[in-house]
Structure 1
Amino acid sequence: MPVSPRSVPIATFTVNPTVDLSLVVAHLLPEGKTRAQVHSIRGGGGGINVARCVRRLGGAAVAVHTSGREVGARLERLLDDEQLEHESIEIAEDTREAFVLADNAEGRSYHIVAPGPVLTMTEQQRCLDTIADIAARCDYFVLSGGATPGLSEDFSAAVARTAGARGARLIADIAGAQLTTMLRERVFLLRLDRTEAGALLGHPVTSFADARAVNTLLLERGACEHAITTVGALGAVCSDSRAHYELAAPTLPSPPRSDACAGDSLVAAVAYRLSRGDRVLDACAVGVAAAAATVVLPGTDVFDPATLESLTADIDIVRISDEGRREDLGHPEKGFQTLG
């Protein structure tokens, strides 16, 4: 489905999308055949998931993505079938496929992802040209998801420069070498998970204090205006040049099932609320609730809006100033409007 000429509040880019096959088994057996039920087949990858979640919140987003050969054609059909606005960029090699297996007996999910296609330098430039066009017509541009094999290490940095030059505020949720090189740029907001935060810090991130240290490092480097680092079940820390905010995760309504789309749900909620005019802190609080509402679901399912709203009101926020003073700000319901 091609993008219309009109402006959109949010655009996302996925360089390495997937066709996600989600299966459910009663119990995964080490030998013989394990019979499975097909839970869902849908287009996936960071930016596509973010765009889907933005729409679930009632917002508008366009998902820009690569598309190659037969699997790419299937990806586009799946996105068309769910009427998700998207723009494909043709590449020569097949788009990758991924599998999510939910084991009901263990209450666990397994996410199995292939490396994906290799993009030529011409194809990488084609991506940047498309991004330049779309970033000029959106307020927030979300760069999310894994890289393809052999992708130029400067590619995400080039995306940041391209989007910034067109006036879009970049929200980035990437990893590895792509993140390392992009830290030389200055973007609007960076989201890090525990793995990437630990790599930057030099030791595992297991506490709010660790997350504050990572955010401080990012801000002092000038890599971003705002940073949000997640700390698993604890929640996240949102930081800017004035203060850190600890966002304690809400109590889950049921045991966690899958974290396959938790980060994408967080980023989508942040982008959506920012596009509606929220402060970054308020948007990040909704983002933490969105991640919590997603991890209780199997496979690549994402939050139910009603669950998200109830969990948002249960987020506990503590402000920590540069001087180290702690101020309990209470729950979001006391300080800002949640959904609606």
Structure 2
Amino acid sequence: MSRASKPDPTTTRTTDGAGRGNAAGPSVLTLTMNPTVDLCWEVGHLEDTGKNRAMVRSAAAGGGGINVARHVVRLGGRAVAFHTAGGEVGLRLNRLLDEEGMDHVAVDIDDDTREALVLVESESRHSFHIVPPGPYLRDHEGRRCLHLLEQAVDGCPYVVASGSLPGGLPDDYYAAVARRVKEAGSRLILDTSGPALRAALAEGVFILRCNRTEAESLTGHPISDFDDARALNEHLLATEAAEIAVTTLGALGALCSTRQGHTELYAPPLPGEPLSDAGAGDSMVAALTTQLIAGADPVSACAAGVAAAAAAMLTPSTESFEPDVAQSLRSQVRSRRQTDARHRGH
């Protein structure tokens, strides 16, 4: 992308600004500050001595927001992936996205984009997701990303910021993103962890999705059931950290909380053996966002997200779930509504 050019979020772009048009425009822009090239290898049985002969299953562009954009498109939505890209791995990331046909805006950085490895052991059907920290971004690179993001957000109703922050960016970077998204009249859906999550909540977001580990980091104690999740979600709503709070509970399901109350959503039984949970969170966010774009209420959208997360468990690595499988599981997501007795009408 030319540094002087204005990014067009409806155009697939690589670092030289080449691309193809999409006249319809996107319904969601995803932000991936720390993307990856995801490599998936398979071994029969992992040995601790000698060589382990592996078969390369796949190589794909990855990272939270990129995965979300991919799933949104598979579900029939329109998405643009906004991401950083640096070095030889960044060039490969761009090539993979171009070959996939995904609309994306790539922002040059100096350091190399990271590679991640999913190692699948076929005999045990276990998988291991190995992820390095990624590049270091300088101050001017972080500021440039924010500047270009402001322009790319224009006219896009939803922005999904997903994944970790690379080194060098301040903890309040997603808080700065949240401010700019609100100023643009868009809604931010956030899925991150650690200090970046805490700082963003001080600014406030439209939807916060956090898994059990992230929820425990916010509360300081285990999140084992819907009651634990409800206490966290209630706090998030009361402090205006999020308009909608979604806390996922693994195989149990998820709790979707709005100012109208809390709804427990129970994960459907899987039609096969689970292979990996690496892509479940991104799949959930993608399905939830796609349903909101289509006009669904937050609880129904979240139920679709629970079904998509379950479908993702049936695929290895971070590979896309089958939309037909997610659709078939949607009818099996049971829900139980609990009205918030402490609701004060705000």
Moved over 6 A (4+): none
Aligned partners of 2:139 and 2:168 also within 8 Å: no
For 1:312, the equivalent position in structure 2 comes to: 330
Structure 2 length-normalised TM: 0.92
Post-superposition shift, 1:163?
A: 0.8
Is this contact kept in 1: 2:45–2:121, CA < 8 A?
yes
Quick one: distance in 2 between partners of 1:173 and 1:203?
A: 20
The separation in 2 between residues aligned to 1:314 and 1:5, in whole angstroms, is 36
- State the alpha-carbon separation in 1 of the partners of residues 224 and 45 from structure 2: 31
**What does the per-residue CA deviation read over 1:140-196, in whole Å, with 9 as the maximum and x for residues that have no partner?**
000001111132111100000011100111000011010010111121100001011
Equivalent of 2:113, from 92, 95, 115? 95
What corresponds to 1:338 in structure 2? none
Hey, what's the Cα distance between the residues in 2 that align with 1:59 and 1:242? 28
SS at match of 1:141: strand
1:193 and 2:211 matched: yes
Match status 1:134 vs 2:125 = no
Q: Structure 2 matches for 1:1-150, cutoff 5 A? A: 1-2=12-13, 4=21, 7-150=25-168
**1:213-292 equivalences in 2 (<5 Å):** 213-292=231-310
Deviation at 1:114, TM superposition (A): 0.9
TM-score, normalised relative to structure 1: 0.93
Distance 1:168 1:323 in 2: 31
Taking the aligned partners of 1:305 and 1:8, their CA distance within structure 2 comes to 20
- Distance in 2 between residues matched to 1:107 and 1:211, nearest whole Å: 30
Alignment pair present for 1:299 and 2:332:
no
Unmatched runs of 5 consecutive residues or more in structure 2: 1-11, 14-18
SS at match of 1:97: strand
- Structure 2 distance, partners of 1:299, 1:234, is 21
- Distance of 1:304 and 1:196 partners within structure 2: 27
Alpha-carbon spacing, 1:36–1:5, altered in 2? closer, same or farther (3 Å): closer
In the TM superposition, residue 231 of structure 1 has moved relative to its aligned partner by: 0.3
Query: Tell me, what secondary structure is at the counterpart of 2:27?
Result: strand
CA deviations over 1:243-299 (Å, ceiling 9, x no partner): 000000000111221111110000000111111111111110000000000012111
Identity of aligned residues (%): 49
SS of the residue 1:260 aligns to:
coil
- What is the distance in 1 between the residues matched to 2:335 and 2:126? 30
Q: Greater CA deviation, 204-213 or 81-90?
A: 204-213
Indicate the SS of the match to 1:274.
helix
CA offset at residue 95 of structure 1? 0.4
Counting matched residue pairs gives: 324
CA distance in 2 between partners of 1:217 and 1:103 (Å): 41
1:331 aligned partner:
none
Deviates most, 243-252 or 104-113: 104-113
Unpaired stretches in structure 1, ≥5 consecutive residues: 325-340
Q: What CA distance in whole angstroms lies between the structure 1 residues aligned with 2:236 and 2:152?
A: 27
* Structure 2 Cα separation of the partners of residues 131 and 280 of structure 1: 26
